[in-house]
């Protein structure tokens, strides 16, 4: 079984792209892996395909803390300087947004890319639930 659950901060504003007939949300997440005396960060590139990625895109911004889960794989690529590099890529199946009130506002860059869309807080229907 290949299942990874990671909690960390977004390293950049997510980017929503159209690939053939599907949308994909791409972002990176920095996960603390070191110790208190020797802090380190592991960077993982993430892709969230389909309607799920499109649905959460307006709520995510650089620096925001989130938890993602999905299948992970090691990938190889050639860097700009011509060297061969390796990195981790997570195919996101589930993403948890921070609790209400803890979400960071969107960065100016992300807000401009979303064509002025500002998500509205969910209504509180707790009084209307009969149980």
The per-residue pLDDT for 104 is 52
* Cα dihedral 112, 46, 88, 102 sign: positive
The per-residue pLDDT for 42 is 92
Tokens coding 128 = 């209307």
Contacts of 105 (CB under 8 A, 6+ apart): 61
Answer whether residue 5 shows pLDDT above 60.
Answer: yes
Measured CA to CA, the distance from residue 104 to residue 119 in angstroms comes to: 12
Q: Reduced to 3 states, what is the DSSP secondary structure of residue 119?
A: coil
Phi and psi at residue 15, in whole multiples of 5°? -125, 120
Phi and psi at residue 20, in whole multiples of 5°? 55, -115
Measured CA to CA, the distance from residue 38 to residue 50 in angstroms comes to: 38
The per-residue pLDDT for 102 is 56
Bridge partner residues of 72 (DSSP) = 90
Task: Tell me the CATH number of domain 4-114, given options 2.40.50.140, 3.90.980.10, 3.40.50.300, 1.10.760.10.
Answer: 2.40.50.140
The per-residue pLDDT for 65 is 93
Phi and psi at residue 21, in whole multiples of 5°? -105, 10
The per-residue pLDDT for range 12-49, each reduced to its tens digit, is 999 999 999 999 999 999 999 988 899 999 999 999 99
More confident position, 106 or 40: 40
The per-residue pLDDT for 62 is 93
Query: What are the boundaries of each domain within the chain?
Result: 4-114
The per-residue pLDDT for 127 is 53
Q: Taking phi first (over 0 means left), then psi (-120 to 50 degrees means alpha), and beta for anything else, what does residue 91 get? A: beta
- What band does 74 get if pLDDT is binned at 50, 70 and 90? very high
């Amino acid at each position: 079984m290949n299942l990874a659950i990671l909690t960390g901060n977004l390293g950049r504003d997510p980017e929503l792209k159209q690939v053939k007939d599907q949308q994909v949300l791409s972002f990176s997440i920095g996960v603390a892996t070191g110790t208190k005396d020797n802090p380190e960060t592991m960077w993982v590139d993430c892709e969230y395909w389909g309607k799920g990625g499109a649905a959460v895109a307006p709520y995510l911004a650089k620096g925001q803390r989130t938890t993602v889960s999905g299948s992970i794989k090691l990938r190889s690529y050639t860097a700009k300087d011509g060297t061969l590099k390796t990195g981790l890529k997570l195919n996101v199946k589930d993403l948890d947004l921070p609790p209400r009130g803890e979400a960071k506002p969107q960065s100016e860059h992300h807000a401009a890319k979303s064509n002025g869309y500002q998500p509205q807080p969910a209504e509180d229907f707790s009084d209307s639930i009969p149980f």
